[in-house]
């Protein structure tokens, strides 16, 4: 059966409770204690088409949503989660790519950022063209940093004046990529080798991943 990865909408609101459950379980596992999202919040993201959902038949197996900060100058792709039984199949990377593309489509001039301790997310972000940045380059919107209050490391953040913590800040700045793209359009001799890296087309088409029936924790990805 296929796992479909698509922009969530009002038809998916019935999945909100289960998505909150998946987020809660994964936060417990990681021991970060990140604030529990309410089903109402998830529903609002679906209705405003600011979320990506992964479905295996009628089972929700992954999710992520968009948040805007500093008057839409910054966008965060938050709440990324993949159901345990469906991990290591490439679903997380595909959701992240789709939510990234949706963010670029909706907010083409915004800087896209995240903070994470997760190796998988760092890897995915890097492939999308994010680079590690100090917290001072991220949104200074108080409301964003208040979201860290549920984390057990919040005292470390406060102790460091919100300038650093255990998470790594990562950011994709479209302005940097614009200049890379225009450099890439110049004659080949003038183009340094690295400028073509991370060129990312904007596309929010549904992505299909075909997986084996009854995937196990280490299931096999047949085709991405």
Ligand X SMILES: CC(C)(COP(=O)(O)OP(=O)(O)OC[C@H]1O[C@@H](n2cnc3c(N)ncnc32)[C@H](O)[C@@H]1OP(=O)(O)O)[C@@H](O)C(=O)NCCC(=O)NCCS
Measured from the CB atom, the residue of 59 and 181 that comes closer to ligand X is: 59
Measured from the CB atom, the residue of 7 and 81 that comes closer to ligand X is: 81
Output the six-digit token pair for 189. Answer: 């001799």
Provide the minimum distance between the beta carbon of 128 and ligand X in the complex, in angstroms, as a whole number: 11
Q: Which residues contact 197 (CB under 8 A, 6 or more apart)?
A: 129, 180
Provide the minimum distance between the beta carbon of 56 and ligand X in the complex, in angstroms, as a whole number: 12
Residue linked to tokens 């979320």? 51
Provide the minimum distance between the beta carbon of 142 and ligand X in the complex, in angstroms, as a whole number: 20
Distance CA 115, CA 164 (A): 11
Contact present, 62 and 53 (Cβ < 8 Å): yes
Provide the minimum distance between the beta carbon of 89 and ligand X in the complex, in angstroms, as a whole number: 5
Measured from the CB atom, the residue of 162 and 181 that comes closer to ligand X is: 162
Binding site for ligand X (CB under 6 A): 26, 30, 80-82, 87-93, 116, 118-121, 123-124
H helix or E strand, kind and range, residue 151: none
Position closest to ligand X via CB: 92
Provide the minimum distance between the beta carbon of 183 and ligand X in the complex, in angstroms, as a whole number: 27
Distance CA 91, CA 120 (A): 12
Distance CA 16, CA 184 (A): 43
Distance CA 8, CA 184 (A): 34
Measured from the CB atom, the residue of 30 and 178 that comes closer to ligand X is: 30
Measured from the CB atom, the residue of 36 and 186 that comes closer to ligand X is: 36
Beta bridge partners of 115: 169
């Amino acid at each position: 059966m296929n796992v479909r990865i698509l922009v969530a909408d009002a038809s998916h609101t019935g999945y909100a409770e289960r998505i909150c459950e998946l987020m809660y379980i994964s936060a417990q596992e990681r021991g970060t204690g990140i604030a529990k999202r309410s089903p109402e919040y998830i529903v609002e993201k679906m209705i405003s088409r600011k979320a990506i959902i992964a479905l295996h038949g009628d089972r929700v197996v992954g999710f992520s949503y968009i948040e805007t900060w500093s008057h839409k100058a910054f966008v965060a792709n938050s709440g990324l989660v993949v159901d345990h039984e469906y991990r290591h199949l490439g679903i997380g990377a595909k959701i992240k790519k789709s939510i990234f593309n949706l963010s670029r489509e909706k907010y083409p001039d915004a800087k896209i950022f995240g903070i994470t301790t997760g190796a998988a997310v760092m890897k995915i972000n890097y492939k999308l063209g994010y680079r590690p940045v100090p917290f001072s380059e991220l949104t200074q919107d108080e409301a964003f940093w208040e979201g860290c209050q549920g984390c057990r490391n919040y005292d470390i953040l406060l102790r460091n004046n919100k300038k650093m913590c255990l998470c790594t800040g990562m950011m994709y700045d479209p302005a940097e990529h614009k200049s890379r793209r225009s450099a890439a359009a110049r004659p080949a001799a003038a183009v340094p080798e690295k400028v073509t890296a991370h060129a990312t087309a904007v596309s929010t088409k549904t992505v299909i991943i075909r997986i084996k029936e009854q995937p196990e924790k280490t299931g096999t990805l047949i085709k991405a």
